[in-house]
Amino acid sequence: MTTLPELEPCRWTLPRALDARAMQTPDRPFLTMEGEGTQTFAQCRASAWDMAGLLRAAGLRAGQCVAVMSPNCHSAVHAWMGANLLGAADVMINTGYRGRPLEHALNLVQAEVLLIEERFLPVLRESESRLDHLRKVVHFRLPDAPDVPVPDGFSRLELVPLDALRHEPVTVVQGPTFASLASIIFTSGTSGPAKGVMMPHSQAYALALQTVRGLRLGEHDTLYGFHPLFHTAGKFICVYAGLLAGAHVVLDRRFRAERWLARIRECGATATLAHGAMLEMVHALPPSPQDSDNPLERLMASPFPRRIAADFERRFGVRGVEVWGMTEINNPCWCPLDEPLRPGTCGKLNAEWAELRVVDPETDLEVPVGEVGEFVVRPKKPWTMMQGYIGMPTQTLQAWRNLWFHTGDAGYVDADGWYHFVDRLGDRIRRRAENVSSYEIESAAASHPAVLECAAVGVPSGYEADDDIKLFVVPGPDAAFAPQDLLEHLVRLLPHYMVPRYPETISALPRTPTNKVRKAELRSGAIAGDCWDRKAAGLSLLDVARRVQGALRHPEDTR
């Protein structure tokens, strides 16, 4: 392992980490972006300062938020780092957002400046009249993107090309502290819109540092990633961890199961990370005697699906390290690298960082060893977990009740101190590494004229800890309801990963005496109606998108 920058916890900020690494190993390769080439640590630092000057010229000041809507690219990384250098926070916007989810995110963080890759400008234009705070849109084009005209039709927002901004000198007397807001990451809502997790600098640094230690990353490692920067996995577990370790980070724009092993070989990756469904897609590909002929040594997985874990390690010659965590709390549980594989466990508590209990979700009283309850967590080091959901004090208090963060994940701890994730509590849906808001799906579907009422739930997808989406629909009186019409309607309003696979018509939703929908009955199959399966019908979301003239911005992601 490399010697980490000598920073005391009170100095855990991105600007200090960037300075320390650029001083130690300025000329080592740091970040290789798909389609763009490689920057050294010193080059990345210089580019981040340049971006800070451009963002300042666009009006960004300390204490504010800048929104960024872009695929993985150097400019997005520089914007994140440049904002932090100014003492501002970055907000990476999910590139699948459109319509109400996009408007909710931008309005909630009150960003006045948005840096956007040009392909997303048509989506932004659709929402312009409903954006309350945004005033300036700075746009840029990826180096390998086609040369297409910037769309017109904006009436209120000021559009400025990134290369037209005049660099404004940046002099920072005092940078952000370890308690300052560094980033906002959006995670799903279940009974409401998506929530913006407020992450202070110390939390972001801690997540990267936990990764460095858990995977034993060092200067001679190449860390391969493909998660988007609007996820903690792409941003902090990959790029930031590489910064602290002095490792070479190779970041692709998206995950491609059929190219996973080839990319490992091409970039010489010694470490990587993935979510369970991704690994199951790789494992499902036809095996080859040459699969183990690759440089990969360590694989961070969340989860490492028990059905394939042992065979995956054998087939690809890699050591799998399962972890458990979430954006709000980092990763409290790790499977130690020296311990043998234990399929089905999500690791042991890293007691240096957090306390973890298993409690009765109704009473918050701790349950006995071996009994299933809710995982609740609290930090041992200050400012290393989220400081709340921005603009949502009620949800923040509910999550942190009794001074513990309630994760909504159910599991148990065994007599040897290994934790086992069992299931999700409540209505949370998890699809292909995306947390999905049932509320957003239901709100969009309810706006269809043939829908009287509806309820969205997650149902097994065939991948471990992963869902497909079923939408139960009660048609209006005398309505001519057609599943394909509904899908076309939803494609216009929702990110592709929120569009249901199964629309199912029923006569009425099951409800409690207080009129709450009994979603447990819907998930269990106790309520049956006329179910239509988009995949069984041979209809992909790309097919639907073609009918609505480019409603999806990423047709390659419409699995």
| Model confidence pLDDT, tens digit, residues 480-523 | 888 888 888 998 888 888 899 999 999 888 876 555 678 878 88
| Cα first-last separation, the chain | 39
Measured in whole angstroms, the distance separating CA 399 from the mean position of its chain's CA atoms is 19
Give Cβ neighbours of residue 260 (< 8 Å, ≥ 6 apart): 278, 282
Residues 533 and 483: their CA atoms lie apart, in Å, by 9
pLDDT in tens, 402-414: 999 999 888 899 9
Question: Is 359 within 8 Å of 369 (Cβ atoms)?
Answer: no
| More confident of the two residues 483 and 289 | 289
Token pair 């690809």 in the structure block, residue: 316
Residues 550 and 256: their CA atoms lie apart, in Å, by 22
3-state DSSP assignment of residue 191: coil
For the question of whether the overall pTM of this predicted structure is more than 0.75, the answer is yes
Of the candidates 2, 491, 468, which has an alpha carbon nearest to the alpha carbon of residue 217? 2
Give Cβ neighbours of residue 69 (< 8 Å, ≥ 6 apart): 92, 93, 95, 97, 114, 115, 116, 117, 120, 124
Architecture of domain 255-424: 3-Layer(aba) Sandwich (3.40)
Look up residue 473 and give its amino acid: V
CATH class as words, domain 41-200? alpha beta
Structure tokens at 310: 């042992």
How many helices (H) and strands (E) in the chain?
16, 26
Question: Is 303 within 8 Å of 280 (Cβ atoms)?
Answer: no
Enumerate the domain spans of the chain: 41-200, 255-424, 434-557
Residues 276 and 263: their CA atoms lie apart, in Å, by 19
pLDDT in tens, 330-341: 999 999 999 988
3-state DSSP assignment of residue 264: helix
Of the candidates 336, 298, 345, 342, which has an alpha carbon nearest to the alpha carbon of residue 320? 298
Residues 421 and 415: their CA atoms lie apart, in Å, by 15
* Domain 41-200 and domain 255-424 have a common topology: yes
pLDDT in tens, 73-125: 999 999 999 999 999 999 999 998 999 889 999 999 999 999 999 999 999 99
Give Cβ neighbours of residue 152 (< 8 Å, ≥ 6 apart): none
Per the document, the length of the chain is 559
Highest mean pLDDT among 34-48, 454-468, 476-490: 34-48
Residues 24 and 94: their CA atoms lie apart, in Å, by 34
Look up residue 306 and give its amino acid: R
Check pLDDT > 70 for residue 478.
yes
Q: Alpha helix (H) ranges present in 110-163?
A: 121-127
Question: Is 92 within 8 Å of 111 (Cβ atoms)?
Answer: no
3-state DSSP assignment of residue 525: coil
pLDDT range class, residue 528, cuts 50, 70, 90: confident
Question: Is 474 within 8 Å of 506 (Cβ atoms)?
Answer: yes
3-state DSSP assignment of residue 101: helix
Check pLDDT > 80 for residue 398.
yes
Element (H, E) at 445: helix 438-446
Question: What average pLDDT does the chain have?
Answer: 90
**What is 434-557's CATH topology?**
GMP Synthetase; Chain A, domain 3 (3.30.300)
Measured between alpha carbons, how far is residue 177 from residues 44, 285, 439, 446, 526 in Å? 22, 47, 36, 45, 53
Structure tokens at 468: 């497909």
What is the 3-state secondary structure of 238-254? HHHHHHHHCCEEEECCC
Q: Which residues of 264-302 are buried (b: 16+ CB within 10 A; e: fewer)?
A: beebebbbbbbbbbbbbbbbeeeeeeebeebebbbbbbb
Percentage of the chain surpassing pLDDT 90? 65
- Going 518 to 519 to 520 to 526, the CA torsion angle's sign is positive
Residues 452 and 464: their CA atoms lie apart, in Å, by 33
- Going 79 to 85 to 86 to 87, the CA torsion angle's sign is positive
**Which residues are paired to 474 by β-bridges?**
453
Look up residue 423 and give its amino acid: D
Residues 472 and 287: their CA atoms lie apart, in Å, by 39
DSSP code string of 277-342:
HHHHHHHTSPP-TTTT-S---EEEEES--TTTHHHHHHHHT-EEEEEEEETTTEEEEE--TTSPP-
| Least confidently predicted of 11-25, 104-118, 147-161, 526-540 | 526-540
Structure tokens at 469: 């989406």
Measured in whole angstroms, the distance separating CA 284 from the mean position of its chain's CA atoms is 24
